[in-house]
Amino acid sequence: MKKVWLISAAAIVASSTLALGGCSSGGSGGASGGSGHATIEVETDMGSGTPELKALTSIAKEFESTHKNITLKLVPGTGETNYEAAIKVRLAAHNPPDIWMTHGWSVLRYGQFLAPLQDESWAKNLNPALKPAMVDEKGNLFALPTDIDVSGIMYNADVLKEAGIDPASITSWSAFDAACAKLKAEGISPLYVGGKSMAAAVADRLLPGGFSDSALKKMKSGTFVAKDFAKTLKLIANWKQAGYLNPDYSSANQTTMGDALARGQAAFEMGPTSIVNTAHSTNPKAQFGFIPIPSIDDNDTFLVAGERTAFGASKTGKHLAQAKEFLTFLAQPANETAMSAATASAPGLTNAKETKGILSSSFATYVTEKSTPSVPYFDRVYLPDGAWVPLGNAIDSVITGQSSVDAATQMMQQTYESLSAQAKANS
Amino acid sequence: MRSVPLRANLLYVPALIIFAIFIAYPLIRGFGISFTSWDGFSPQKHFIGVDNYLRLFTDSTFGHVVLNTFIYGVGSTVLQQVFGLGLALILRKPTRRSGILRAIIYLPALVSPVIMGTMYYLLFQYNDGALNDLVGLFGADKVAWLNNATVAIIIIVLVNSLQFMGISMVIYLAGLHSIPAMYYEASTLDGAAGWKQFLHITAPLLWPAFTASVVLNLINGLKLFDVITVLTAGGPGYSTNSVSTLISITYFDSQNAGYAASMGVVLFAIIVVFALIVNSSFSRLNPEAD
């Protein structure tokens, strides 16, 4: 009997060692083919059939045709949340892809895993608007951006026109409230928010306008400024109280946001510009635009700009040189132009061409002509990594009446302090 | 005592290997992670002792979520027993029609809970939701069903119960078919029928099936994840989260793997203790026990 147990134990240990050894093998998952051949795994959060993935696939094919010794394995995504979880699991298992999309986190989250790219030939063309978010204090650039996310308050131009509202006249929150009251009277949801995942996106766009410069410095250095944070929550709570938010807030998501904007059921939305792409595909005849975001305390307006589609290369990848080769190819003006056109955004490099997109008219007005100042996404600079969901829940709890503004602010402060302490301990 | 041949014992090995890799190892690792402040992906892990466990006991969100977990577990279990036993009693006679009905009732259990949740989301959603279309037929205003935490919790329990009542039905059908017909024949001769037969023959002899069904449903209900994620994503706020969904949010989104692991350990302990209590209580209450 003892012998049997010994055999069993040995088998378990042996197979466990093999299995776990497989889990923790260092370096990239890119399997090599024949001699000199490299397979580069490129993991993205781009859904199958999206214009972005189609553009990337086409560029990848062109690259493979001129680089016979490199095969690119494009991995499509199944939604942003799943993508992030998948990347985190692979990083934890010391098995990152050769190249992956950093979607706003090339410095703060993924910087320690990515190869610095500031010395690459294309790096000098980085769009200056991206520098605050993508270049760290030591001058490291960890990803190639193929577009730049410029964001304000998105609107359905047809709905506003019918209601007699000139979007350009909305330069303060009082003007916004007046427009909302008018829209509500006409039976339209003035501001449509998808409570299932987009509450934090609203806060991310409003928060910069509620903080003084000194408060922002404090937030960056690890002190939570509750008074300024609460201003944004009060603004949102007032909208809720006035009935300006959509009644299906809790069950609405990013898809329903696009749908509501397309059908003219909603006038204003705050979130990624991909929502407008969804709306446009639902109703190609509808006109959309965006306006800058008013500050809470003064009459300034601003836009939020930052990293969106960007690709970094694993610093431990077995085929780092080939991965960088592909990034250089992707950075070529024609490819960069194609990628940014696929998301209807401005390109991430200055030597690429800007294409006419759904929002190009607003872009020309507020970015090119008026040079509206842009600020980085609040959570990426002033909140510790991991605060996105708690931020969404703080907003959510105010909108659904589960917490007062003060209680939600306190909840966020606790999260901020706990995540900051965790980040400090792990650094 | 006759010893078991070596080859027969070796048949355990594959199961032991699978158990070691997929159950024992993650459990031990998870327990270890619960004493760290790990973010879930960085190479560094810092030991912080029992801080995560202490935080659990002062975290009002976790307390609320544990309560939700019990509602999902107990609520789903009760409903599944009522539906499952009721359907088993109605469909116990093996006719062609009952065979088709059994298959239809069991089919949802074969569908992924994500798909089931998505189907019900389309039913309950505000715009274009089938239920609101019905409400509209009566001239009433649309209702945001999933905006209210209490209603959302009831919907989640209901959706989960409807999906898996087929499993309970099958367990009860197996139990019903194992009861010898002679008991019913003898009791009929003695003048017993209907409710009396159910109370004195069916119910006591169904006890093992009842125990199996309750424990199975309870464990699945306490682990509920997919339906919640699809229907409400844990919202509004944290109000419809179960411990499982909160673990996922805390681990992957809030990047607090250490704290999430401590929740996992507590959930494991809750399920073990609860299952043991239910099992031992049922064993004691078993009318068939000596």
Ranges of residues in chain B whose predicted pLDDT is under 70 = 1-2, 287-290
**Structural domain contains residue A268:** yes
Could you say which of A92, A246, A250 has the minimum Cβ distance to residue B41?
A92
Whether residue B37 and residue A415 make contact (CB cut-off 8 A), yes or no, is no
Q: Are A186 and A377 in contact (CB under 8 A)?
A: no
CA distance A59 to A53: 10
* A105 & A254 share domain: no
Helix (H) or strand (E) holding A40: strand A38-43
Whether residue B144 and residue A16 make contact (CB cut-off 8 A), yes or no, is no
Render pLDDT for A302-358 as a digit per residue (tens, 0 to 9): 999 888 899 999 999 999 999 999 999 999 999 999 999 888 788 999 999 887 678
- A117: tokens are 């790219």
Whether residue A426 and residue B236 make contact (CB cut-off 8 A), yes or no, is no
Render pLDDT for A191-225 as a digit per residue (tens, 0 to 9): 999 987 789 999 999 999 999 999 999 999 999 99
In this prediction, residue B75 carries a pLDDT of 96
Task: Report the alpha-carbon angle B237-B243-B246, nearest 5.
Answer: 45
* A155 & A139 share domain: no
**Structural domain contains residue A11:** no
- The residue count of chain B comes to 290
On the question of pLDDT at A246 being above 90, the answer is yes
Q: How confident is the model at residue A18 (pLDDT cuts 50, 70, 90)?
A: very low
Instruction: State which residue of chain A sits closest to B52, comparing Cα positions.
Output: A418
**Structural domain contains residue A385:** yes
Strand-pairing partners, residue A105, are none
Judging contacts by C-beta atoms under 8 Å, the chain A residues touching residue B124 are: 251
In this prediction, residue B239 carries a pLDDT of 87
Whether residue A19 and residue B21 make contact (CB cut-off 8 A), yes or no, is yes
Whether residue A419 and residue B48 make contact (CB cut-off 8 A), yes or no, is no
User: Which residue reads 């003060």 in tokens?
Assistant: A406
**Structural domain contains residue A18:** no
**Structural domain contains residue A298:** yes
Cite the beta strand spans of A234-296 per DSSP E: 266-269, 288-291, 293-294
Whether residue B13 and residue A247 make contact (CB cut-off 8 A), yes or no, is no
Q: Kindly give, in sequence order, each residue whose CB lies less than 8 Å from that of residue B74, ignoring residues fewer than 6 positions away.
A: B218, B221
Alpha-carbon distance A65 to nearest alpha carbon in chain B (angstroms): 35
Instruction: State which residue of chain A sits closest to B60, comparing Cα positions.
Output: A411
In this prediction, residue B287 carries a pLDDT of 65
CA distance A388 to A201: 9
Q: Are A232 and A203 in contact (CB under 8 A)?
A: yes
CA distance A423 to B46: 11
Query: Average pLDDT over chain A, rounded to whole?
Result: 87
Collapsed DSSP state (helix, strand, coil) of residue A145: strand
In this prediction, residue A267 carries a pLDDT of 97
Query: Maximum distance among all alpha carbons in chain A?
Result: 88
Render pLDDT for A84-117 as a digit per residue (tens, 0 to 9): 889 999 999 999 999 999 988 999 889 999 999 9
On the question of pLDDT at A184 being above 60, the answer is yes
Average pLDDT over residues A244-260: 88
If DSSP states are collapsed to H, E and C, what string results for chain B?
Answer: CCCCCHHHHHCHHHHHHHHHHHHHHHHHHHHHHCCECCCCCCCCCCECCCHHHHHHHHCHHHHHHHHHHHHHHHHHHHHHHHHHHHHHHHCCCCCHHHHHHHHHHHHHHHCCHHHHHHHHHHHHCCCCCHHHHHHHHCCCCCCCHHHCHHHHHHHHHHHHHHHHHHHHHHHHHHHHHCCCHHHHHHHHHCCCCHHHHHHHHHHHHCHHHHHHHHHHHHHHHHCCCHHHHHHCCCCCCCCCCCHHHHHHHHHHHCCCHHHHHHHHHHHHHHHHHHHHHHHHHHHHHCCCCC
Greater confidence (B2 vs A164) lies with A164
Amino acid found at B9: N
**Structural domain contains residue A246:** yes
Instruction: State which residue of chain B sits closest to A416, comparing Cα positions.
Output: B254
Helices (H) and strands (E) in chain A, counts: 17, 13
Render pLDDT for A26-81 as a digit per residue (tens, 0 to 9): 444 444 444 579 999 999 988 887 888 999 999 999 999 999 999 999 998 876 56
Helix (H) or strand (E) holding B228: helix B226-231
Q: How confident is the model at residue A21 (pLDDT cuts 50, 70, 90)?
A: very low
**Structural domain contains residue A17:** no
In this prediction, residue A8 carries a pLDDT of 47
* A58 & A115 share domain: yes
Instruction: Tell me which of A369, A384, A417 is where a domain ends.
Output: A369
Backbone angles phi, psi at B125, to 5 degrees: -65, 155
Q: Cα dist. A136→A117, A133, A142, A381 in Å?
A: 12, 8, 9, 11
**Percentage of chain A lying above the pLDDT 70 cut:** 90
Judging contacts by C-beta atoms under 8 Å, the chain A residues touching residue B21 are: 15-16, 19-20
Q: Which residues of B57-73 are buried (b: 16+ CB within 10 A; e: fewer)?
A: eebeebebbbebbbbbb
DSSP B191: T
CA distance B207 to B220: 20
In this prediction, residue A16 carries a pLDDT of 44
* A133 & A206 share domain: no
Collapsed DSSP state (helix, strand, coil) of residue A182: helix
Alpha-helix runs per DSSP H in A144-225: 157-162, 173-185, 199-206, 213-220
**Structural domain contains residue A26:** no
Q: Which CATH number goes with the domain that contains A108?
A: 3.40.190.10
- B29: tokens are 């690792």
- The residue count of chain A comes to 427
On the question of pLDDT at A393 being above 70, the answer is yes
In this prediction, residue B233 carries a pLDDT of 85
Instruction: State which residue of chain B sits closest to A96, comparing Cα positions.
Output: B41
**Percentage of chain A lying above the pLDDT 90 cut:** 60
* A267 & A359 share domain: no
User: Which residue reads 């189907």 in tokens?
Assistant: B119
Alpha-carbon distance A393 to nearest alpha carbon in chain B (angstroms): 5
Whether residue A425 and residue B46 make contact (CB cut-off 8 A), yes or no, is yes
Strand-pairing partners, residue B209, are none
Amino acid found at A240: K
Alpha-carbon distance B186 to nearest alpha carbon in chain A (angstroms): 50
Strand-pairing partners, residue A245, are A191
Whether residue A250 and residue B232 make contact (CB cut-off 8 A), yes or no, is yes
Fold exhibited by the domain B61-285: MetI-like fold (1.10.3720)
Alpha-carbon distance A419 to nearest alpha carbon in chain B (angstroms): 8
Whether residue A248 and residue B144 make contact (CB cut-off 8 A), yes or no, is yes
In this prediction, residue B51 carries a pLDDT of 92
Alpha-carbon distance B124 to nearest alpha carbon in chain A (angstroms): 9
In this prediction, residue A80 carries a pLDDT of 58
Instruction: Tell me the residue range of the domain where A325 lies.
Output: 31-149+307-369
CA distance A323 to A320: 5
* A47 & A133 share domain: yes
Q: Are A230 and A405 in contact (CB under 8 A)?
A: yes
* A96 & A183 share domain: no
Judging contacts by C-beta atoms under 8 Å, the chain A residues touching residue B235 are: 195-196, 250, 393, 396, 400
Q: How confident is the model at residue A278 (pLDDT cuts 50, 70, 90)?
A: confident
In this prediction, residue A79 carries a pLDDT of 62
* pTM recorded for the entire structure: 0.81
Mutate to test the interface with A, among B238, B254, B256 (most CBs of A within 10 A): B254
Task: Report the alpha-carbon angle A285-A80-A258, nearest 5.
Answer: 20
Average pLDDT over residues A7-14: 46
* A177 & A142 share domain: no
Q: Kindly give, in sequence order, each residue whose CB lies less than 8 Å from that of residue A331, ignoring residues fewer than 6 positions away.
A: A120, A121, A122, A125, A144, A349
Mutate to test the interface with B, among A4, A245, A402, A417 (most CBs of B within 10 A): A4
Average pLDDT over residues A265-269: 96
For chain A, what is the domain count?
2
* A161 & A272 share domain: yes
* A364 & A237 share domain: no
Cite the beta strand spans of B19-175 per DSSP E: none
* A231 & A354 share domain: no
Per-domain boundaries in chain B: 61-285
Omega prior to B236 cis, within 30 of 0: yes
* A165 & A117 share domain: no
